[in-house]
């Protein structure tokens, strides 16, 4: 593309594929479309059901197949995992530090889920979730950071741990069952409403700041 003069660097056509380019405030364009330079590739995806958050899926397609091949070849990884049947906000990156910051149990990054339950919710279930429920294989009760009834069978739940099937197990512990699960937010970053299931976009600096991550 460079040899065919399809690439411009900061507005000037480049015809040398081996040119050394300063990356500070770099903007290059391909066929007239501008692309700001980024050392790392970090994106947000509206995950649909039916995809596994793994580079080596076992039973369903990998969620990475929803990204363009050049991104997949960079070695991007999902930050945390959503079950195959869980939808919503999924962050994917090749920035190891960002992955660590958002995945570390010590940082207790809040994650907000909207759960559709099998049975109607009541205040007793909410109180139990806020007080803490004991899950199998866990030595201490785990409490929700926030919980509210969002509808007759809709629960908005905020957790700060990343336990296996945590939301489903917590709801089961108070005598109910999750029929559908959707992640709405991570930290202060909310799933962009314009993203339809299967769509993605780059994370901006403002997005990273909402996630508590800024360089």
Q: What is the pLDDT of residues 37-87, one digit of tens each?
A: 888 999 999 999 999 998 777 788 999 999 998 888 888 999 988 999 999
Q: Note if 95 is an active site residue.
A: no
Cα 200 from Cα 183, distance rounded (Å): 15
CA 158 to chain centre: 15
What class does CATH assign to 42-105+192-210? Answer: alpha beta
Distances (CA, A) of 104 to 35, 81, 134, 203: 31, 13, 22, 20
Contacts of 140 (CB under 8 A, 6+ apart): 132, 134
Count Cβ atoms below 10 Å from residue 30 Cβ, excluding itself: 12
Please say whether the beta carbons of 105 and 66 come within 8 A.
Answer: no
Catalytic residue among 16, 24, 83, 95: 83
Q: pTM for the complete prediction?
A: 0.86
Please check whether the two domains, 42-105+192-210 and 110-186, share a CATH topology: yes
Q: Which fold has domain 110-186?
A: Alpha-Beta Plaits (3.30.70)
d(CA 5, CA 30): 9
Taking the domains of the chain in order of start, what are their residue ranges? 7-36, 42-105+192-210, 110-186
**pLDDT tens-digit readout, 154-201:** 999 999 988 889 999 999 999 999 999 999 999 999 999 999 999 999
* Placement of tokens 């460079």 in the chain: 2
């Amino acid at each position: 593309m460079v040899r065919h003069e399809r690439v411009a660097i900061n507005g000037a056509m480049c015809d040398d594929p081996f040119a050394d380019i300063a990356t500070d405030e770099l903007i290059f364009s391909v066929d007239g479309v501008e692309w700001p330079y980024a050392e790392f590739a970090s994106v947000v995806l509206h995950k649909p059901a039916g995809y596994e958050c793994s580079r080596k899926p076992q039973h369903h397609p990998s969620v990475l197949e929803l990204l363009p091949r050049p991104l997949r070849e960079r070695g991007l990884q999902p930050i945390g995992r959503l079950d195959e049947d869980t939808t919503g906000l999924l962050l994917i990156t090749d920035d190891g530090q960002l992955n660590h910051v958002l995945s570390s149990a010590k940082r207790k990054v809040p994650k907000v889920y909207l759960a559709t339950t099998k049975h109607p919710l009541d205040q007793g279930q909410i109180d139990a979730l806020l007080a803490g429920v004991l899950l199998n294989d866990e030595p201490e009760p785990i409490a929700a950071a926030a919980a509210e009834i969002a509808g007759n069978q809709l629960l908005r739940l905020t957790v700060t741990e990343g336990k296996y099937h945590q939301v489903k197990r917590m709801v089961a512990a108070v005598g109910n069952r999750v029929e559908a699960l959707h992640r709405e937010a991570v930290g202060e970053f909310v799933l962009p409403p314009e993203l339809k299931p299967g769509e993605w976009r780059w994370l901006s600096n403002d997005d990273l700041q909402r996630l508590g991550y800024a360089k």
